[in-house]
Amino acid sequence: MSIAEAAGMLAAPASYPPRIEHMQPQRRHLDSEAFERQREEAQAPWLAVFVADWCQPCETLLSRLSSASQESIRALPVAVVDIDREPALAERYGVKGTPTLILFVDGEPRLTRVGALSEQQLLQIGEEGARH
């Protein structure tokens, strides 16, 4: 599945953030306006994933996020930002490569990782989010 197809299937969660055991991460594509609203209004940590349609590691990462087995990463709301549609956001947050993951806590970037991270690396991000 391409990033564009995945982004097309993403919908805003009915309630923010949903906390249901053994669920898929909540993901949605954000434009600049929605991103800023998410950043300002989020009451819990959330993960921004900067991707591109042409990026194979991005597809790998999104697949790993969808199949992550640990609750700490599954509980994080995930927002997908396409760098080709939102280059100003990518520039603002220093995105130089894709995929780039940024954990936001209290509206500020807390942790940044680049690449198709392993499930263990994703778990570390989830644990960091769970601490806040």
How many C-beta neighbours within 10 Å does residue 86 have?
19
Task: Report the sign of the C-alpha dihedral through residues 120, 106, 104, 110, in that order.
Answer: negative
58 is catalytic: yes
Give the torsion through C-alpha atoms of 125, 89, 82, 124, to 10 deg.
0
End-to-end CA distance of the chain: 33
Q: Indicate the residue type of 93.
A: Y
**pLDDT confidence bin for 12, thresholds 50/70/90:** very low
56 is catalytic: no
In the set 6, 51, 55, 76, the catalytic residue is 55
pTM, whole model, 2 decimals? 0.77
Instruction: Collapse the DSSP code of 101 into the 3-class scheme (helix H, G, I; strand E, B; otherwise coil) and give the result.
Output: strand
**pLDDT confidence bin for 67, thresholds 50/70/90:** confident
pLDDT digits (tens, 9 = 90+) for 87-128: 999 999 999 999 999 999 999 999 999 999 999 999 999 999
What's the confidence (pLDDT) of residue 28? 67
In the set 6, 30, 49, 58, the catalytic residue is 58
